Amino acid sequence: MTLFPETEPQAKGIEGMARQAASLLEKRAVEYLHIEARSILNRCSSLRMPFTWTINPYRGCEFGCRYCYARYTHEFMGLNRWEDFEEKIYVKRDAARILAGELTLERLAGQSIALGTATDPYQPAERRYRVTQSLLAVMAQVPNLRLSITTKSDLITRDIDLLRRVAERSSLHVNFTVATLDRRLARTLEYRAPTPELRLKALRALRQAGIVAGVTISPILPDITDSRENLQAVIAAAQAHGATHLFANVLFLKSSAQQAFFPFLERHFPHLRKRYAVRFARSAFLDQPYKERILHLVADLKRQHGFPDGPAFDVPAALHDDEDMQLSLLQIESAPTAIPCIGTSPQRTRPCGIGGRMPRNGHDQRSPANRKARFGRAAC
């Protein structure tokens, strides 16, 4: 026993900021906290990405989608429970003021911005704090932007007037994520998200207002939402509600997402547990033949319903095995020059009991070069 126990090292960067975050409100199962932001506009430097900048008004997302790939972003703040991502929502209350200083034509010339890549910009916190609304008000003052918004929420209809003002001066398109029309299944998969019907009604409202808006079928889950019948139903509904475009991505599961997804499988689809364990035993990504088969099916159904084959504007990138091709997700205010992307977890990520592998003694036995290849190259 020592008289001078070691003190915990002081956290720095985003983890330190998270520890200092002031609680704004606690409600059942969710706490809202204020977090300082040094930057709102975050650069995605990979030339392979369809956009250059990302904005996330919040950290964490209350919708609680069981497949959510972004759960690992809370691990950068020292929050390693998978539930933390949906129970601790960090609000960037000064986002609009900061963005107003960053949103310059010289900086953004010919470049595109994706709003809502790691968290939904219209999650429940937005009803109270209106951070997304304040950001759109800033963007409405700046001409010639190229902006995309991705959401699962019909709350976006609150901002139709603002969206029209943005679209009058800039290029704007909205993507509604719809994985299935089965209301019960959607509620199971996407715990607190608005129903598919509400999203489609919001899609129609935006189209009637003259706003470019479409559907993203994402993620497509093997043996759950990947049937021809399910995909055709979503695509037909998208067409019926006036969607201008449609895109699709298949499921991928990093270890932090597996911690939430596999217990969900055990409870709701126990017959698929072993099958998924095999699929994701060696990789967070589904095998190429599966992806090609599903995306070819989607392409065929799109043609049948009159959707164009290729994008007419910047769209969310598909997910690939190559980790340096993933979307920019994080707003790491303390390290703006090295923003991790989808597929890049912090090295301290805990392994999942199914499909996750921890090297011997809990340490990474690979060479420094190989570790860099896995964790260091995906700075987009």
| CB within 8 Å of 140: residues ≥ 6 apart | 162, 165, 166, 169
| CB within 8 Å of 252: residues ≥ 6 apart | 69, 219, 284, 285, 286, 319, 343
User: Quick one: pLDDT at residue 312?
Assistant: 58
DSSP conformational letter for 106: H
Name which residue leads in pLDDT, 39 or 332: 39
Name which residue leads in pLDDT, 293 or 351: 293
Kindly report, residue by residue over 24-73, the tens digit of the pLDDT.
555 567 889 888 888 898 876 555 456 578 899 998 899 989 998 877 76
Kindly report, residue by residue over 243-257, the tens digit of the pLDDT.
999 999 999 998 888
User: Quick one: pLDDT at residue 78?
Assistant: 58
- Taking residues 261-283, report their average pLDDT: 95
- Taking residues 213-225, report their average pLDDT: 97
b/e burial code for range 256-293 (CB count within 10 A of at least 16 → b): bbbbbbbbebeeeeeebeeebbebbeeebbbeeebbee
CA distances from 94 to 59, 101, 130, 132 (A): 14, 12, 11, 11
pLDDT at 201 over 80: yes
Other C-beta atoms closer than 10 Å to the C-beta of 128 total 12
pLDDT at 149 over 80: yes
Name which residue leads in pLDDT, 81 or 41: 41
pLDDT at 294 over 90: yes
Kindly report, residue by residue over 175-199, the tens digit of the pLDDT.
999 999 999 999 999 989 999 999 9
| Whole-number Å distance between alpha carbons of 9 and 2 | 18
From 7-16, 34-43, 232-241, the region with the lowest mean pLDDT: 7-16
Tell me the angle at which helices 131-139 and 160-169 cross, rounded to the nearest 10 degrees.
Answer: 30
From 33-37, 156-160, 301-305, 307-311, the region with the lowest mean pLDDT: 307-311
- Taking residues 136-146, report their average pLDDT: 93
Domains, in order of start, for the chain? 40-358+366-375 (3.80.30.30)
From 103-112, 289-298, 313-322, 337-346, the region with the lowest mean pLDDT: 337-346
User: Quick one: pLDDT at residue 85?
Assistant: 81
Highest mean pLDDT (candidates 20-34, 72-86, 294-308): 294-308
User: Quick one: pLDDT at residue 333?
Assistant: 32
pLDDT at 369 over 70: no
- Taking residues 314-338, report their average pLDDT: 38
pLDDT at 230 over 90: yes
From 40-44, 107-111, 160-164, 311-315, the region with the lowest mean pLDDT: 311-315
User: Quick one: pLDDT at residue 368?
Assistant: 34
User: Quick one: pLDDT at residue 106?
Assistant: 75
User: Quick one: pLDDT at residue 51?
Assistant: 57
Highest mean pLDDT (candidates 116-120, 287-291, 343-347): 287-291
User: Quick one: pLDDT at residue 9?
Assistant: 52
User: Quick one: pLDDT at residue 75?
Assistant: 61
Confidence label for 19 from pLDDT (cuts 50, 70 and 90)? very low
pLDDT at 299 over 90: yes
Beta strand 112-115 pairing with 146-151? parallel
pTM recorded for the entire structure: 0.77
- Taking residues 155-166, report their average pLDDT: 98
